[in-house]
Amino acid sequence: MTPARQKRFAFIIFLIISVSLALALALFALNQNINLFFTPSQVSAGQAPKNHLFRIGGIVKTGSVHHENGLNVEFILEDTHHQIPVSYNGILPALFREGQDIVVEGKLNKANLFIASQVLAKHDEKYMPSAHTQN
């Protein structure tokens, strides 16, 4: 093999290793920052990760919202089959209410209580302009 060919071969190997390393780092970073979405049924079936941040989407069970000291609130999130108790310490969104679709982000503790760090209220698709913008 000639010296020019050896340099070209070494450059190609270096290029392949560099691209592979960059791809591996990008995939690792994406995997660390992913927020998985689960239903209460999936969480009850044990499909949700323990000690890892994830999201649960469902409906706030009617009659389950209990405000405690200060900003602490506990409620039950349900789908058609299962229920997950949720504890949240913070200001709830304006659209939060019983019977409303919401998404909570947080971690599941050992007692299967979901400790929410964020509550996101979903709204319907109907757009209603405010009264002061109508002519």
Between the CA of residue 71 and those of 34, 66, 87, 111, what are the distances in Å? 28, 11, 11, 22
List the Cα angle 110/114/119 in 5-degree steps: 160
- 14 in Cβ contact with 68 (< 8 Å): no
User: Which one has a higher pLDDT value, 85 or 134?
Assistant: 85
In whole angstroms, give the CA distance from residue 132 to residue 71.
33
Q: Give the per-residue pLDDT at 48.
A: 81
In whole angstroms, give the CA distance from residue 98 to residue 75.
9
Residues 6+ apart with CB under 8 A from 87: 72, 73, 74, 113, 114, 115, 116
Confidence tier at 130 by pLDDT (50, 70, 90): low
pLDDT at position 129 over 70: no
- 116 in Cβ contact with 108 (< 8 Å): no
Q: Give the per-residue pLDDT at 22.
A: 94
- Token pair recorded at residue 116: 């929410």
Q: Give the per-residue pLDDT at 61.
A: 92
Q: Give the per-residue pLDDT at 82.
A: 92
pLDDT at position 29 over 90: no
